[in-house]
Amino acid sequence: MPFKDQCGLCKRVLSYRLLKRCYRCGRLYCRDCMVPDVSTGDPTRLLCLNCARRTVSPRIVSKYGGLAGYLKFRGSFTNTVRLSFARMDGIIGDNLPMEAYKTESWWGNLATNVHAKAWLDAGWNVEEVNLKEGYVVFRKVKELQPAGFRKKRASHSEIKKSFTPVHVHIPKPRTPSKTKVSKLYARIRNLERRRTSMLMYHGSFRPKPKHEKRLFKPDEKPSQ
């Protein structure tokens, strides 16, 4: 029976030979849920429908999203930020409209304006605008909770029991049993007996040839 897997989009269970891997995300999809690379038109590079949709219509980021991120970052260690108009052009990556240089009403804290919504969502308000010198002063008005933050619920039940520390069990050093000690001593003695029973050859570690053993005894030397 061939190995099977599930398509990442239509959830059909097919064999591996009918599934292809997306060139961008690397997941398995059937041929019905894949198209050639829409950016290059290469038929050998197949993309799933999700990756192809992201390539054709990428995520739109607000023009003033960089300003909101900058104010959130500065809000962690200061309550007042003074920015020149040139500095704001660099933060948003584009030029401010001409109305920002001419009228102070453009800097009003109105949530209906796209640019004002950026700093209002970040927890800041415009406190001062100087069109002559070309700067604006922001002041933090609220603290933003980090993503995934959950406020702890206050427990109304009173703690009646006093705190008792947990008993810690300290392990005692284990002493070997008498049986293990006797076996160890017996093994050491056997090793010593085996070492003493081995033949010791003087002058050379190699054993004597057979013809020398036949002609001479171990303790005798040949007569010259």
Please write the tens of the pLDDT for every residue from 174-197: 888 888 888 888 888 888 888 777
Q: How far is C-alpha 127 from the geometric centre of its chain's CA atoms?
A: 41
**Mean per-residue pLDDT of the chain:** 81
Distances (CA, A) of 69 to 84, 124, 168: 17, 11, 49
Give all domains of the chain, ordered by start, each with its CATH number. Answer: 4-56 (3.30.40), 65-140 (no CATH)
Region 102-112: what's the mean pLDDT?
91
| H or E element that contains 119 | helix 114-121
Q: Residue 132 class from Cβ within 10 Å (0-12 exposed, 13-18 middle, 19+ buried)?
A: exposed
Return the bridge partners of 140, or none.
124
Q: Which residues contact 163 (CB under 8 A, 6 or more apart)?
A: none
Q: CA–CA separation, 99 vs 34, rounded Å?
A: 47
pLDDT(31) > 70 = yes
